[in-house]
Amino acid sequence: MLGFFMAYHMKVHNKKDNFLYNRSMLRINIITQLMVFFVLAMIVNHLNIQILLVLLLSIFSIILFKQQFQYLRTLKRFKWFFLVMLGIFAFNTPGEHIAGWPLAISPTYEGLLAGGTQTLRICLMLAALSLIINGNTRQQLISGFYFIFSPLKILGLAVERFAARLWLTLHYVELQRDSQITQSFLGQLNAMTNLQASELDPSSNETISIEFKMPLFGMMDYGVITLLISLVVLKVVL
């Protein structure tokens, strides 16, 4: 009876391990995610509005599926920036003026299209960035940036110092988020100053070690990297 129970227990654990392994194989690691983000940043200005809408809706669906609602709060903070940018494009881009506009200065169709396209580009990059930041831990983010920029050591770039500064930046962001100070902009600045002062206080400093872990690469990672290389080569050739 004991032997049967042990065999059954091992079988259940093997199925669970295989399930977790298969799930990990279907997820791209942080290095691949950052590579996708950098390539997207390079080609986003060359994408038309139809492709931007498809990409944005795809990433937005993933964000909703993972319930990462921080992206919606980010868009809310950018609403005035989007409106001002749309107005600048609409009233300063030459083209066909909108018929029936009641004011002497009227926007153009081309300006509205250009402003809307630029707004979609920024929303797309913010969505991709939100998906990466909220879908990975601080340790994974720092390790990903470290291994991506490691080849730049040949040019004299201090990758370790860059990783340490990134760790401190994310640390301050998390402290600010945990403090839940929302009364005013000056209050947030004062809170950030107090947090930095407490970090610089020798009596409150702690020894912090940062460990860089190389993420595992699966079939999805190799497939995405191959696709990215193909897109870059086609862009250069064409």
pLDDT tier, 229 (very low <50, low <70, confident <90, very high otherwise)? confident
Evaluate whether residue 233 is within a structural domain. Answer: yes
Indicate if 82 and 164 belong to the same structural domain.
no
Domain assignment of residue 162, given as a range: 137-238
Q: What is the overall mean pLDDT for the chain?
A: 76
Report the range of poorest mean pLDDT among 3-17, 104-118, 186-200: 3-17
Residue 60 dihedral angles phi and psi, to the nearest 5°? -65, -35
Count up the domains in the chain and report the number.
Answer: 2
Flag whether the pTM goes above 0.75: no
Most confident residue range from 36-50, 194-208, 224-238: 36-50
- 142 burial via Cβ count (<10 Å: 0-12, 13-18, 19+): buried
Domain end among 135, 162, 185: 135
Tokens of 185: 């902009």
CB-CB contact of 75 with 59 (8 Å)? no
What are the residue ranges of helices labelled H in 93-158? 109-134, 138-149
CB-CB contact of 215 with 140 (8 Å)? yes
Tens digits of residue pLDDT in 90-146? 988 888 888 888 777 888 899 999 999 999 999 999 999 888 888 888 888 888 888
Evaluate whether residue 115 is within a structural domain. Answer: yes
Asked whether the predicted pLDDT for residue 18 surpasses 90, the reply is no
**Residue 57 CB neighbour total at 10 angstroms:** 12
Indicate if 127 and 155 belong to the same structural domain.
no
pLDDT of residue 21: 39
CB-CB contact of 209 with 14 (8 Å)? no
**Residue 199 CB neighbour total at 10 angstroms:** 14
Indicate if 141 and 112 belong to the same structural domain.
no
Indicate if 150 and 59 belong to the same structural domain.
no
Indicate if 146 and 108 belong to the same structural domain.
no
- What's the rounded Cα separation, in Å, for the pair 44 and 158? 29
pLDDT tier, 189 (very low <50, low <70, confident <90, very high otherwise)? low
